[in-house]
Amino acid sequence: MPRIPTAFTQMMNCDLPIIGAPMFLVSNVETVVAVSEAGGVGTFPALNYRPIAEYKKALAEMKAQTKKPIGVNIIVNKSNTRQLDDLRYALDAGVELFITSLGSPRQVILDAHKNGAKVVCDVTNLDHARKVQDMGADGVIAVATGAGGHAGPISPLVLIPWLQSELRIPVIAAGGIADGRSMAAALTLGASAVSIGTRFIASKESRVDQSYKDAILKSTPEDIVLTTRVSGTPAAVINTPYIQKMGLDLPWYLKILKNQKLTKKYIVPLIHFLGTKQLEEAAVGPTWKTVWSAGQSVGMIHEILSCQEIMEKLVREYEQTIAQQPRLER
């Protein structure tokens, strides 16, 4: 098994500094196990499995199929009423890595560390990164422009070295990474690992509808747009005819209600719920309401491969890229 030793691989006791990113409705038992078995860390969103009995079953299946580390993504804002149960069942199953999103990770960090598990937190800026570091986070995922889902506004060329120079904990790069060249670039910028999502949508283990996979193969970076219609927060999706018809901004009345103190706590969960239903319908079967989450790295994805093949290709291209870099001549 090839190894690329970094602070992340040392922390997680794995061979490759690659996280199979947790993708809503995409990540499953097969993708998680395959990425971990190939030397990285496969992860999935806890909310991919509902009701919670299905979540417990999936955790048991993953742990039965691999002894390598796996990870769970937990949404830590108030709209996720399941978060404490998701955390407890994952800890009971022996999950080694937690990825937190959209809220305060304090409770996850406290409980995970009691079990010897690690916690890395999605961040898009230095202020949030410092806050989670102070809470005891073991690392941050620098979500930059080009990422699928809730992409950050800062270029990875700036965000990765900025965070790396200001923090004491490892920085994991996310956004625009789908091949060994972009992986090499991220590690050169100071990242200890990369989080790769969109590339694994077009994998054999992914169970999403074939039309979603075909859209990944056919799309270019120019086809990725940011919309607030899905969750109220800018999210990267493929610009399908339905997205064009729906528009990229929330209706004016939802914007007003979302920004009012008295109505915000009711409206934000409603927006999340409606957006989630649209994503579910589009991911699992044909529908004219095509809302497909993806990042700008679609432009580098041209074939459907197994997760094992994707991992091997990443490492091979990484090595080639490093070897071919121009050297200083005197």
Does an H or E element contain 142, and which? strand 139-143
Q: If one looks up domain 7-207+303-323 in CATH, what number appears?
A: 3.20.20.70
Q: Say whether pLDDT at 204 is over 90.
A: yes
Q: Where along the chain do its domains lie?
A: 7-207+303-323, 210-284
Give tens-digit pLDDT for 251-299: 544 445 445 665 555 445 544 555 444 444 444 444 434 778 899 999 9
Mean pLDDT of the chain: 88
Choose among 315, 146, 173, 307: nearest CA to 234. Answer: 146
Neighbours of 237 (CB within 10 A): 26
Q: How far is CA 43 from CA 31, 98, 103, 218, in A?
A: 8, 9, 19, 26
Q: Which of 44-58, 220-234, 255-269 has the least mean pLDDT?
A: 255-269
Per-residue pLDDT tens for 229-262?
A: 665 567 889 988 878 876 655 454 444 544 566 5
Decide if pLDDT at 64 tops 50: yes
Q: How far apart are CA 317 and CA 87, in angstroms?
A: 36
Helices (H) and strands (E) in the chain, counts: 14, 10
| Phi and psi torsions of 252, nearest 5° | -55, -35
Burial annotation 122-146 (CB, 10 A radius, 16+ → b, else e): bbbebeebeebbebebbbbbbbbbb
The answer to whether the beta carbons of residues 177 and 196 sit under 8 Å apart is yes
Return the closest-CA partner of residue 173 out of 149, 140, 221.
140
Cα separation, 310 vs 179, in Å, equals: 9
What is the structure's pLDDT at 261?
60
From residue 264, give the alpha-carbon distance in Å to each of 75, 141, 255, 258, 270: 18, 27, 10, 5, 10
Answer yes or no: are the C-beta atoms of 53 and 44 closer than 8 Å. Answer: no
Q: What average pLDDT does this structure show over 166-193?
A: 97
* Mean pLDDT for the stretch of residues 207-213: 92
Distance of alpha carbon 285 from alpha carbon 146, whole angstroms:
26
Q: What is the per-residue pLDDT for 80?
A: 78
Euclidean distance between CA atoms 64 and 298, whole angstroms? 33
Higher pLDDT residue, 26 or 276? Answer: 26
Which is more confidently placed, 314 or 263?
314
Q: Which tokens is 275 given?
A: 């957006």
pLDDT digits 0-9 by tens, 66-113: 999 999 999 887 777 888 999 999 999 999 999 998 889 999 999 999
Share of the chain above pLDDT 90, in %: 70
For residues 73 and 44, the answer to whether their CB atoms sit within 8 Å is: yes
Nearest to 43 by CA among 104, 109, 101: 101
Report, as an integer, the average pLDDT of 119-147.
Answer: 96
Residues 64 and 60: their CA atoms lie apart, in Å, by: 6
Among the ranges given (127-131, 174-178, 249-253), the one the predictor scored with the smallest mean pLDDT: 249-253
pLDDT at 242: 79
Query: Lowest-pLDDT range, 102-111, 160-169, 186-195, 233-242?
Result: 233-242
Q: Is the pTM of this model over 0.75?
A: yes
pLDDT at 253: 45
Residue 194 dihedral angles phi and psi, to the nearest 5°:
-125, 145
Q: Which helix (H) or strand (E) holds 143?
A: strand 139-143
